[in-house]
Amino acid sequence: MVNPESVRSEFAACFGDAEGVRFFRAPGRVNLIGEHTDYNDGFVLPCAIDCDTVIAARPREDSIISAYSTNLHEEGSFDLAHAAEIRKGYWLNYIEGTARVLERKGFKIGGADIVLESDVPVGAGLSSSASLEMAVAMTLVRLGNQPIDRKRMALACQEGEHEFTGAMIGIMDQFISAFGEEGMALLLDCRSLETVSIPVSLEHHALILCDTGVQHDLAASAYNDRRNECKEAVKKLSEFIPGIRSLRDVSEAKLRAFGGELPDVLFRRARHVISENTRTLAAAQALRDRNFDVLSELMYASHESLKMDYEVSAPELDLLVDTARTIPGVFGSRMTGGGFGGCTVSFVERDRVEEFTLRMKAAYKQGFGRDLSIYNVKIVRGAEELTNGE
C-alpha cells in the first residue's frame, strides 16, 4: 500500500502546508472469473487487492478542484462553476468526470486540494482507473461531511468514466473498489447489483498475478467493438427469443437452438458470455467448497473462451497460461481484465510459489525477451477514509 506519510509530504510541498489534511484510499481489483459479462448484465467474481490509490485532501473555499499526481508529476485543475472541457487522454478526466457526475446525482461537491499516489499498475487489467475514481469519490463526499452511499458513488464513477474517457465499461470495477471485503470475493449480479460474499481460502494457496507489461487502453475500439457485437447478437436473437434484454437472458440451450441464425463472430461472442456466466456461478460454489480442482478447470476454460471466442487475449497472456499449466501446484490460471495485455491470475500452492515464480519469469524472458512482474496479493476491504493517515 502507498505510504500516506509520503503523500502528506507531497501535499505540503504542493500547497504550502498539510494542516487539516484528510486521507482516503480505494483499492484496485482482480477478477477471478467472469470476464466481459458485466456489461451484458451477467455475473462477475472480483476481489479488492492490496494495491491502492491514496489521496491527501483538504477542502477549499471556492469551487476549484486542484489535483497533483505524484506518479505523473503533473498537476491540473478545473472549476465546478464552469462548464467541463474534456481533453482526450488527459488523466484529470477521471477526477473531473467523477466530481461532476457526483454533483449531478445530488451530492454536494465543493472545491478541494488533492494529492494522489497509486501503486495499482496502470494498464495491467487491475482497474487503476476505478481505484482512482473511487478514491476521489470517497474524498469529495467525505470532505463535504456527507453520508457514504457506496452504490450511488460507484454508479457515478462508472458514468463519469463513460462520459469523460469514452470507455463504456461495466459496473464491476467501481463496485468492487467500493464494496470489497477482506478475505472475500464478491459474486456480483450486474443486473440487480445484488452481491454475495464468497470466502477465498488463501491458507494453503496464494493468489498470484503475472503482469505482462503489455498495456491496453479500454477506450480503444476493440473493447467497445465487443460491447456492440454483444448488442447486435441480442438484437438478432430477439427475433427468435422474445423478451430478451441482454445475453444474460439467453441460456446455453437457447443459443444451441438459435445460434445458427447468427454470423459466426456474433455466435462466438455470445457463446463466450453465456458460458462465462455459467462458469462464474460454478466458480463461486467451488470457492465455497474449497474445491480448487474444479476452480482450476473453470479458470482454464475461461481463458480458452476469451482467447478463441471473444478474441481478447494476447500472445503474452497465452504463453503465461500455457506455462502455468505445466507447473505442479498451480490450480487454475487465466487472463484477467479487459484483455489485449495486462495480467494473468493464478492460484498456487504456497510451498510452490518460489518454483512458480522462477519458471514463469524464465519462460516469459525466453519467449519475449522481457522481464515479468509478479505480485502475491492479499484480498482487502474497499474504499475508506484513513484515520490519522493509517
Q: Please, how many CA atoms are within 13 Å of residue 64, restricted to the half-sphere of its CB?
A: 8
**Model confidence pLDDT, tens digit, residues 70-97:** 999 999 999 999 998 888 788 999 999 9
Q: Which three cell numbers stand for residue 42?
A: 451477467
CATH class of 4-200: alpha beta
Query: Which pLDDT belongs to residue 340?
Result: 87
**Model confidence pLDDT, tens digit, residues 137-169:** 999 999 999 999 999 999 999 999 999 988 888
Counting residues of the chain whose pLDDT is more than 90, the rounded percentage is 89
Q: b/e map of 208-222 (b: 16 or more CB within 10 Å)?
A: bbbbbbbebebbeee
**Model confidence pLDDT, tens digit, residues 35-50:** 999 999 999 999 999 9
User: Annotated catalytic sites, by residue?
Assistant: 173
pTM of the complete model: 0.93
**d(Cα 20, Cα 18) in Å, to the nearest integer?**
6
The whole-chain average pLDDT of the chain stands at 95
Which pairs count as long-range contacts for 241-246, CB under 8 Å and 24+ apart, including other chains?
245/41, 246/40, 246/41, 246/42, 246/191
The domain spans of the chain are 4-200
Q: Going by C-beta distance under 8 Å and a sequence separation of 6 or more, which residues neighbour residue 15?
A: 58, 113, 115
Q: Which three cell numbers stand for residue 292?
A: 480448487
**Model confidence pLDDT, tens digit, residues 195-243:** 999 999 999 999 999 999 987 655 466 888 999 999 999 999 999 999 9
